[in-house]
Structure 1
Amino acid sequence: MPIRFFKPFSLRLVLIVPYVVLVIGLAIAIGMLSYSAGSQAVATVSSHLLLETVGRIAQAVDRHIVGSSAVLETAFPTGVPAPQSIESDFHEIRSRFWVATTLHTDPNNYVYFGNEAGQGLGLFRHTADEVELRMKLRPDEHRAIYTFSGIDGPLQFQRREANLFDPRTRPWYADGKRNNGHTWTSVYIDFGTRQLVATRARQVHTASGSFDGVVATDVSLKALNDFVGRLKVSPNGVAFIIEPDGNLIASSASRNVVTLPDGSSGRLNAGRSDHGLLKAAYDTVQGRIAARDDKDLPRVFDFHTADGSLVHAAFDRIRDDAGLDWVMIVAMPASDFLGGVRENVSRTIILATLAVLFAIFIGLSILGWVSDDLRRLTEAARRVGNGELDAPVGIERRDEIGALARSFETMQNRLRTDRLTGLANREAFMDQLRRRIDTAREDRRKHGLGVLFIDLNGFKAINDTYGHDAGDRALQEIGRRLSDHVRENDLVARYAGDEFVILLDPVDDRSSLLSVRSHIERSLREPLESIGSPHSPVTSGGAVGAALFPEDGDEAEGLLKSADRAMYADKHGEAGTT
């Protein structure tokens, strides 16, 4: 009788085991495919989100400092010689300083001048009509403080400063005297507000071309720090702005000014921050800053923290001819995005494993159903990776794959939508504008496209008077109002801060575009229902710039810039008449 070492398998077992193994293998494959698709989608979304966030910060910096040059040019236009003494041209200088501080009240509400004779004159704007004049006409006298209302209002003496102020000893004067042309001082702490300030200065020459004095304007960085502090990067992400030496200008995760042991205030260096992610991001990018590695900016990169955690990050750099050199960095832990993906993949594997018990009854059709949806999800992820942010997923399942698809769609929607107003965001608007322009070119149609660029008036006053919650409600109401005043095929988007853009498609001609522009302007001047009351209405209004395709630009960026320039022309025109 032969010895049998193995008990023969039953036909039932022979049929079931390979199928069970196949289902388990399929479950593993599903998990891997799900994780791969989710990771690819997350990598794409996080990259776009990083670039969008660092771009928003760069735009905020640019808008924060862009007015300083115009302020100095208005205060002392190029070619206008310095006066022999301040009192000889007092009224003309005072009028120019008045106009200069109306251009960009936030943050350039203070412009001042000092000369080699030790004279000094400064105008600080408190409100649209109330200003403070700070003046000294002799080197040995203490600076006198006056107030007045209106451009030609009479001066009201208030007091004389206790300390002797000599403009020639101030850092801004020394920097302006040392550098030919515009120059930025180092960022410093204002002794009164304990907030960071940067000063832009420029030489003023006599008629013969010799140096006579320096005109300067202060740029408070508080609003910039507040903007970065309000950024919702990710649950554990961080955004910050630094100077090349690592000193913080603004941060969403820590203060930029700290109290020193002796009770004085000092600046915080990112390399000494107690916020681990902020410090790690700075340490990673520090070498690139020192090497002035500015190619292909903004740039996305990855790094690992000391505990081995993966972090996605991006940085950009902004400089100008006056010596400004700031670096913007955004960093987000990969776990902020991958947690949901891993959870969904785990659930998918568990459900697929449980499905082994019912494998005989389920049939192979379920495999095709699952793989088909996975292919659709992978295709959607691939299209997103190619820049098609609105690529439809179209999966209506209620299981984990459906949850992953909905998470993916949510991330897509988040990338396209402004969170506060629910309107399209800047990137979605630009994508749609490019598509409409391409369509217009292909159809060779006679109808053009129109773009309106809107900048609200008095929005800072609403925030200051009623609070930021009221400001948010005002932005939401303006967004709804703009949406209610356009056609179904038009697109309204929030561009940035208190700026909105509208894509009008089609537009017959420029007169039609200007008619819509006037209609929008009237709607913006209506009282805000979300704040104020019938007895005390609150209005905003806004400057609206219009551009027509293809006359004002045959590319999306050019068309938008034309509308932006028209808006600024409208806003400056209004400012000049007030």
Structure 2
Amino acid sequence: MLCLAVTIGWFLYRAGDDATEVLARNALMDTMNRVGQATDRQLLGARETLRVVAPDPIPPAEKGGQPAYIPFPKERAALEERLWLANSLFDDPSYVYFGGADGSFLGVKQEEMNLFMYSTRDPQGKNYVYHLRGPGTTPVLIATQDYEPRNRPWYRQAIERKQETWSPVFTDFRLKFLGITLSKPVYSPEHVLLGVATSSIGLQRLSDFLQALPLTRNGVAFIIEMSGDLIATSVNEPIHKVDGANFVRLNAGQSTSPIVRQSYADLVAYMKTQKLEPGKLVVQSLQTDGPKTELAFRLHHDTAGLDWVAVSAVSRSDFLGSVTGGVYQTLLLGFIAVCMTFVLGFAILRWVLRDIRKLTLAAKSIGNGEPFPSLNIDRRDEIGQLAQSFQEMERNLRTDRLTNVLNRDSFIAQIDFRRRKGTEVAPLQFALLFIDLDKFKAINDQYGHDEGDKVLISAASQLQHALRKDDSVARFGGDEFVVYLHGVTDENIAKSIAEKIRNFLNQPIEGRDGNQYHVDASIGVALFPQDGLDIETLLRVADERMFEQKRMHRILSYGVNREI
């Protein structure tokens, strides 16, 4: 009985482990999508504020035309108005400024709620920094400094690249946070350089977002530069520190979290052998001696020179809580069963292993295209929940949502699976019926798509009732269906079955407002292997024969109408 308990626990664990891998990877993809959206929103602020200060040319309405340029303000007051407008565009504080080709400078930065820093440079090269409460309020001088914008990295990089350019992530020594700058050269319609418009944004909001993510107990998410320096992390730890007079960035390899360190090490190992493709999500198992952990990473790249890598990892053990509880409960029942009869223990063993075997076979069938077995598991525990999840997954992947019969891909996959199982001793033989509903288009056009959908649903139901257990039916699109007839090798038998199906489809269909719809069907037959050795050839042959029958139906219908 002890072996019985251990066996039950082992099978429960294996079924749970397979399920938790799927759950962990789904959680990873959801987290990575959220991180990508948050990153896009954060960077969008800098890009959109720049477009307020220096709008892009309006594309020509006609091909070959000239783009329309929105004039850049010549007066300081007009430029200042644009800077104020750009600064108020998003809730996140940003520093928006413009360095002119003549050495002028003007910038507006929100320090805190209703407190702004206003910077301007006079022709003598002095830069004056003021505090003020908002546009039109009285400025208070707080600093005077020597400042030449044309010598700054953001100015020179934008001029050299002649396009929008991201700076490296920098550290704000005064406010102690990370930030990044997007610069854009501004030209007149005659392509004369007017200066460089720039927007600097803080990146603290990204860390706040990651730390607020609903991650699992051992899940992590972080964003790094290609060098490995942390930009944001879900781990509650500093990503920079003050070392004397220096402000030092921390690397993911220096994180206090072992999962972050191992995730970064696996990412580095991956990049040594393969190149990261922008936007491609890579999911793999984390190389660790601890609990099984899934890792995902994606390169965030744009033409302005930004290269960030978003990384997330989650432990499968975070999803094993309920399964582990089931294991402990089963072990306890096994020890109690030692004092009970062997018959009771054997009955429990069969009851549990039967459902676990069903789940195992179902998990394999989804992966290799086998026909999905009927689970018939009516339980309210973790196994019942897994069974329900497998059934929903199979239905979404394999069936046509309208008619609830197989879809095209699932139908072809099941035939390929049967062909792989065929042997020389017991070769696979079957027939394909390609079915087209002759009068469907007229009903759909006259009574609308809702009534047309009723016809398709009814036709699919009639087809399912007309077939044997080993046969199957799929919707190939529109009003076309394909039927697989297992073991049918004789053309006459296949045609008789086709005629039977046609009679089923000829039954009236109840519609809206008391209407009754009558459809007919044209059916083409193809036999394997007589008519083709691959599914594509068989479908083409059956389709051609279906069209021949449809043509014959039209000729006969035309002849009957002429006699009338």
Could you say which TM-score interval applies, normalised by the shorter chain? 0.5 to 0.7
Name the larger-Rg structure.
2
The answer (yes or no) to whether the contact 1:241–1:251 under 8 Å persists in 2 is: yes
**1:58-103 superposed Cα distances (whole Å, 9 cap, x missing partner):** 11101111232221111012355886xx8x5122212222322233
Name 1:97's counterpart in structure 2: 83
The answer (yes or no) to whether the contact 1:82–1:212 under 8 Å persists in 2 is: no
Name 1:300's counterpart in structure 2: 283
Name 1:34's counterpart in structure 2: 12
1:44 maps onto 2:22 in alignment:
yes
Name 2:145's counterpart in structure 1: 163
Shift of 1:279: 1.2
The answer (yes or no) to whether the contact 1:377–1:405 under 8 Å persists in 2 is: no
**1:322-370 superposed Cα distances (whole Å, 9 cap, x missing partner):** 1111101112234434465345335424523542542345386545533
Q: 1:60 to 1:26 in 2, by over 3 A?
A: same
Using the size of structure 1 for normalisation, the TM-score is 0.58
Name 2:52's counterpart in structure 1: 74
**5+ long unaligned stretches in structure 2:** 58-68, 369-373, 408-443, 454-564
Select 2:183's aligned residue among 175, 187, 201: 201
The answer (yes or no) to whether the contact 1:311–1:332 under 8 Å persists in 2 is: yes
Select 1:325's aligned residue among 299, 307, 313: 307
The count of aligned residue pairs is 392
Aligned-partner SS, 2:191: coil
Shift of 1:44: 0.7
CA distance in 2, matches of 1:111, 1:446: 59
Name 1:355's counterpart in structure 2: 337
CA distance in 2, matches of 1:131, 1:409: 59
Q: 1:197 to 1:127 in 2, by over 3 A?
A: closer
Name 1:245's counterpart in structure 2: 227
The amino acid of 1:91's aligned partner reads: A
Name 1:145's counterpart in structure 2: 130
Q: 1:360 to 1:29 in 2, by over 3 A?
A: closer
Shift of 1:121: 0.7
Q: Percent identity?
A: 29
The amino acid of 1:64's aligned partner reads: Q
Aligned-partner SS, 2:195: strand
Select 1:123's aligned residue among 73, 94, 108: 108
**1:395-444 superposed Cα distances (whole Å, 9 cap, x missing partner):** 545xxxx35656x699x7xxx9xxxxxxxxxx9xxx99x998999x9993
CA distance in 2, matches of 1:158, 1:363: 86
CA distance in 1, matches of 2:214, 2:359: 27
1:147-546 pair list within 5 angstroms: 147=132, 149=134, 154=136, 156-289=138-271, 291-294=274-277, 297-305=280-288, 307=289, 309-338=291-320, 341-342=323-324, 344-352=326-334, 354-360=336-342, 362=344, 365-374=347-356, 378=360, 396=379, 402=381, 444-445=449-450
CA distance in 2, matches of 1:265, 1:363: 67
Shift of 1:202: 0.5
Q: Give the root-mean-square deviation of aligned CA atoms.
A: 4.1
Shift of 1:295: 7.7
Q: 1:266 to 1:30 in 2, by over 3 A?
A: same
The answer (yes or no) to whether the contact 1:146–1:155 under 8 Å persists in 2 is: no
Q: 1:159 to 1:392 in 2, by over 3 A?
A: farther
Shift of 1:378: 4.9
CA distance in 2, matches of 1:436, 1:128: 52
Q: 1:155 to 1:342 in 2, by over 3 A?
A: closer
Aligned-partner SS, 1:142: strand
Aligned-partner SS, 1:66: helix
The amino acid of 2:268's aligned partner reads: Q
Shift of 1:126: 6.1
1:542-561 pair list within 5 angstroms: none
**1:458-493 superposed Cα distances (whole Å, 9 cap, x missing partner):** xxxxxxxxxxxxxxxxxxxxxxxxxxxxxxxxxxxx
CA distance in 1, matches of 2:219, 2:384: 24
The amino acid of 1:106's aligned partner reads: D
Which segment drifts farther, 165-174 or 362-371?
362-371
Shift of 1:298: 1.2
CA distance in 2, matches of 1:106, 1:296: 26
**5+ long unaligned stretches in structure 1:** 1-22, 417-426, 449-578
**1:10-59 superposed Cα distances (whole Å, 9 cap, x missing partner):** xxxxxxxxxxxxx6665454333212210111111011011111211111
Q: 1:142 to 1:283 in 2, by over 3 A?
A: same
The amino acid of 2:128's aligned partner reads: R
1:58 maps onto 2:36 in alignment:
yes
The answer (yes or no) to whether the contact 2:323–2:382 under 8 Å persists in 1 is: no
Name 1:113's counterpart in structure 2: 98
CA distance in 2, matches of 1:125, 1:392: 62
The answer (yes or no) to whether the contact 2:278–2:298 under 8 Å persists in 1 is: no
**1:132-176 superposed Cα distances (whole Å, 9 cap, x missing partner):** 432223242232426364xxx535231052322322232222222
**1:258-296 superposed Cα distances (whole Å, 9 cap, x missing partner):** 334425321101123343221111011013346432288
CA distance in 2, matches of 1:156, 1:102: 19
CA distance in 2, matches of 1:144, 1:126: 13
The amino acid of 1:233's aligned partner reads: L
Aligned-partner SS, 1:106: coil
The answer (yes or no) to whether the contact 1:182–1:202 under 8 Å persists in 2 is: yes
Q: 1:241 to 1:139 in 2, by over 3 A?
A: farther
Q: 1:55 to 1:447 in 2, by over 3 A?
A: farther
The answer (yes or no) to whether the contact 2:23–2:319 under 8 Å persists in 1 is: no
Shift of 1:178: 2.0
CA distance in 1, matches of 2:365, 2:146: 67
Using the size of structure 2 for normalisation, the TM-score is 0.60
The amino acid of 1:246's aligned partner reads: G
Shift of 1:321: 1.2
Shift of 1:255: 3.6
Q: 1:324 to 1:209 in 2, by over 3 A?
A: same
